[in-house]
A and B are shown apart, each in its own frame.
Chain A
Amino acid sequence: MQYLFILFADQNAWGRMSSVEQERGVAAYRAYTEALKEAGVWVGSNRLQNTNTATTVRLVDGKSQVLDGPYADSKEQLAGYYLIEAPDLDAALSWAARCPTASHGTVEVRPVWPVPGATSDVASATATAA
């Protein structure tokens, strides 16, 4: 089963850190990613730019409305994600607890809800093309 770890953290904390602390922070995530890969559970991951770079789009009365800023303003912001493969929620939670975000922010663990018939992203893309 795949699980998405949605990482929430206070993005302003980054700017308050010394360069040594920042380096150490990045290294902790790198080591965590390495451990996930070595265990064969890593599917994908990335970090996101600050929410002040966010733009939201939606259609209102058939016209697209583009707004500056994130969808939701919160104390902790969506900062990145990990997508992992785990046999069950317990295994996923034990990986989530090791994520550096868990000690300075919040990790939301959500099971992926696979679309029936679509065995993978590639398969569904091919189906759409056909």
Chain B
Amino acid sequence: MNDALPAQAVASGIARHSYGKLLAYLAADMHDVSAAEDALAEAFAAALADWPVHGCPDNPESWLMTVARRKGIDGVRRRSSGEAAAVQLQTMAEMQAECMETDDEENFPDRRLALLFACAHPAIEVNIRAPLMLQTVLGLDAKIIASAFLVSPEAMCKRLGRAKQKIREAGIPFAIPEREAWAERLDGVLAAVYAAYAEGWSDPGDADLLRRDLVEEAIFLARLLTELLPEEPETHGLLAGMLYAEARRRARRNAQGEYVPFAEQNMGLWDTVMIDEAEVLLQRASSFGRIGRYQLEAALQSAHIERRRSGRSNWMPEVQLYDALYALTGSPVVALNRALAIAEVEGVEAAIAVISELSSDKRLAEYQPYWAARAALFARMGDDREALHAYDMAIGLARDPAVRRFLQRRQDEIAAMRRY
């Protein structure tokens, strides 16, 4: 009986750390993500029944892989018949032979990168790529993913199911694409990891463990990418950017749980170890001499942090970085942040001129930070009417109650001044 607990602990430990590795292998074997998930789930269930009785195997990963593969073969026999099954079983036998050789070294070749590329394949709908990665590589529950992405659990399950069906039926390869195709393909992988991170970051309410977990998972994925693709500067840039932001998490709320803007954050609450790691990553990335979006975003965070630490008042480096980032992405969100930096260099009027140009961009109409930035700029210029309306919009679009209260306080200040 006493063995039950350690066996369970070992199984759940493996589930957490090796799930993606095992699944990547099985999915490539079976060319079917859903079937691989089923087989792996059965293997874990078998482990929980077997290990407490017979003890944990010396190499639990191999044990699980062998059982999962056997379950997978049973599954193929159950589902298909005749020639199709014969072909599939033949492929699986070949792959198993390859795997058995490597089993001896207790070392599965890591196929998670191929799985990531399959999940972010151009044939897979953009919005489902990040959820698909979180489920296949990290084994996250569809319900958790659904909540984090603000989608109903049923719809998320369906979409994940459809994406897996597409992988199977369209024959999307579980392979690392040729080097020439990377520009586009790697971008898809990075964008999906970034999307998972942004979902977790957008609402940093400390009580919201779900989203915070998602941030950790996204950082795990980004870290994995830097290990699997150490020669790719953008992977380092992506991880650096996430770490810079994560390092400031504790400073984003005060003791009362109220939102603290970057300019007023207590730097003593910043995680310096994380910032240092990000600096090293960013330097390594720039040593390759191939600039990219994620490196620029990380460089901007680095500049903001350095500015506050040194007390530098000249925002020119930030403006130049935003210029470069805007030239690369053409994103209205970048243009918005650039306007805020311009306000510090050329004055509020210049920034408002940029913002006014942006106001016709429909993509920003429901973008909460746009309204918050607009409100702050008009408030600084003394245009109360515009500022009050922009605050209304920023408050109305806010999801985070602490941000909502912060904006309400700013709005109240203007309203109070008007009364005198």
Contact = CB atoms under 8 A, between A and B. Distances in A.
Size bin of chain B's contact surface:
20 to 34
A35 B401 contact: no
A80 interface: no
Chain B contact residues: helix, strand, loop or mixed = helix
Contacts of B152: 89, 93
Contacts of A112: none
Nearest to B407: A31
A35 B393 contact: yes
A98 B393 CA distance: 11
A115 interface: no
A48 interface: no
Given A24-B408, A39-B365, A98 B151 contact: no
A28 B151 CA distance: 24
A90 B408 contact: no
A35 B408 contact: no
A31 B151 contact: no
A89 B399 CA distance: 17
Contacts of A102: 399
Nearest to B389: A34
A103 interface: yes
Contacts of B151: 89-90, 93
Nearest to A97: B399
Contact of B150 (A24, A30, A36, A94): A94
Interface residues of A, number: 22
Nearest to A103: B401
A28 B396 CA distance: 7
A89 B154 CA distance: 11
B366 A39 contact: yes
A33 interface: yes
A104 B405 CA distance: 13
A28 B365 contact: no
Interface in A72-106: 89-90, 93-94, 97-98, 100, 102-104
Interface of B: 150-152, 155, 365-366, 391-393, 395-399, 401, 404-405, 408, 411-412
